[in-house]
Structure 1
């Protein structure tokens, strides 16, 4: 998985020592080295640094995780879990790379065929919506 060549400049940076509480929606590439409690959405790519801690679901085109994520991750183009990462949540993607020593506890949907990916993603998200209404 590689970032697309037309999207290599970081538009937003949340630096070390920063804390954000609330949902974030970014139109572009973001790097996170601080802590966030809330949902993150990006139209592009996300890099989560080694010391970052995220409590919330993340949606982007592609994501590299080096820190801690407590939430679900959706990234159709791809997800890479670095050896320093901890992910407690479900993953939906077309391509996944997990380095040695990475910690992942959750379900993973990884289908490269577009139609199968969309159908499986839709079914999973529908089930999640039903569960959230029941709980």
Structure 2
């Protein structure tokens, strides 16, 4: 389902050492290596991907189609298509997802709520430990 469409390109970067205070709106792809204090939202009309790296932190609401987290988030997260939680992911807030991939070591302090279309069950994938 998710591999049929080509991933949007990551066109923007918030670099390590950068601090953004305020809301961020983006289309296509965004990678965050720095710090954002504010909401991070992808536009609804285009496929989107958001990468929050190991060095990144976000304090605010996050909304995008495909979200990959390996840093820290304080606030609610909504992944309209797929949420990937890498081993160093730390989320303090409720999480809404259509599909979820969670690696060992990732932590969520909050509720997990599937986004259901009709009566479909959400897709859950457990990541294998590659060690």
TM-score in same-fold range (> 0.5): yes
Q: Give the TM-score, by structure 1 length.
A: 0.79
CA distance in 2, matches of 1:53, 1:6: 23
Q: Report the counterpart of residue 37 of structure 1 in structure 2.
A: 37
Structure 2 unmatched ranges of 5 or more: 121-131
Q: Which residue of 2 is the match for residue 19 of structure 1?
A: 19
Secondary structure (helix, strand or coil) at the match of 1:36 reads strand
Q: Cα offset for 1:11?
A: 1.3
Which blocks of at least 5 consecutive residues in structure 1 are unaligned?
A: 118-135
Higher strand share: 2
Q: How many residues align?
A: 115
Contact 1:77–1:93 (8 Å) recurs in 2: yes
Would the alpha carbon gap of residues 3 and 49 (structure 1) be closer, same or farther in structure 2, given more than 3 Å must change?
A: farther
The structure with the greater share of residues assigned to helix is: 1
Q: 1:5 aligns to what?
A: 6
How is 1:1-135 mapped onto 2 (pairs within 5 angstroms)?
4-7=5-8, 9-43=9-43, 44-111=48-115, 113-116=116-119
Q: State TM-score, norm by structure 2.
A: 0.81
Q: Which residue of 1 aligns with 2:126?
A: none
> What is the root-mean-square deviation of aligned Cα atoms in Å?
1.8
Query: Where does structure 1 differ by over 2 angstroms across 4 or more consecutive aligned residues?
Result: 1-4
